[in-house]
Structure 1
């Protein structure tokens, strides 16, 4: 579960905003329509949650659960 621990580290270190508000608690829930702003090493991604899956799936399954609002470099 490297992805989950990496995501938690981003949140804890203050690199994630939910609807424009900095979030520092990895357990904070999100809902459909929320906009996540994630500051990565050399870019910022802005994602809008459009759905949730019942079970964990592969990357292509996950891509339909959010809209990318920012252009990736």
Structure 2
């Protein structure tokens, strides 16, 4: 099994969880501009969200913190 190419970007959309190559995700980026990522961009698993006074943090069980 080969590792994903980091230069190619994440394989999944962090807002809808669909593969990036499947369609244009500009609407996801606009809709999710102020929201924390709902899906891990590496494995498409749903993220655990934690809200703090400083904002919301998204965590994938396998890949750790997901950056917006």
More helix per residue: 1 or 2? 1
Query: Same-fold call, TM > 0.5?
Result: no
**TM-score, scaled relative to structure 2:** 0.32
More strand per residue: 1 or 2? 1
Structure with the bigger RCO (C-alpha within 8 Å, sep 6+) is 2
**TM-score, scaled relative to structure 1:** 0.31
